[in-house]
């Protein structure tokens, strides 16, 4: 570590950064998608809520911690929510 610049920053996990961003910017827009010619957005709060729902769905489906999860979907807010949700549940991306 250095005394200034990026080398001076405390290391953080992706999930720590995600949780901090949700806490700091809960009602700010996080994700955007065009559907039927109209742009819609998800706030950080909704992003976190949908990710949590996905994590709970994995639990309900009986997927154990540290098991591999493959998410097949188009580039969309729902894909990102599933991706973060499986990390909330401590599953592995494949």
| Residue 12 located in a structural domain | no
* Domain at 58, CATH number: 3.40.50.980
Q: Give domain status of residue 73, yes or no.
A: yes
Q: Where in the sequence is the domain holding 83, given as residue range(s)?
A: 18-93
Helix axes 14-24, 44-60, angle to 10 degrees: 130
Residue 5 belongs to a domain:
no
Q: Looking at residue 3, what is its pLDDT?
A: 79
Which residues on adjacent β-strands are paired with residue 68? 92
Asked if the structure places residue 6 within a domain, the reply is no
Kindly report, residue by residue over 32-83, the tens digit of the pLDDT.
Answer: 999 999 999 999 999 999 999 999 999 999 999 999 999 999 899 999 999 9
Q: Flag whether pLDDT at 2 surpasses 80.
A: no
The answer as to whether 30 is a domain residue is: yes
Assigned domain for 1 exists: no
82-91: pLDDT as tens digits: 999 999 998 8
> How many domains does one find in the chain?
1
């Amino acid at each position: 570590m250095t005394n200034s610049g990026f080398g001076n920053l405390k290391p953080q996990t992706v999930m720590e950064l995600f949780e901090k961003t949700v806490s700091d910017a809960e009602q700010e827009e996080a994700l955007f998608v065009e559907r039927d010619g109209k742009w819609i957005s998800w706030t950080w709060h909704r992003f976190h809520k949908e990710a949590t729902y996905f994590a709970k769905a994995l639990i309900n489906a009986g997927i154990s911690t540290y098991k591999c999860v493959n998410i097949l979907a188009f580039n969309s807010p729902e894909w990102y929510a599933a991706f973060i949700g499986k990390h909330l549940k401590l599953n592995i991306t494949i």
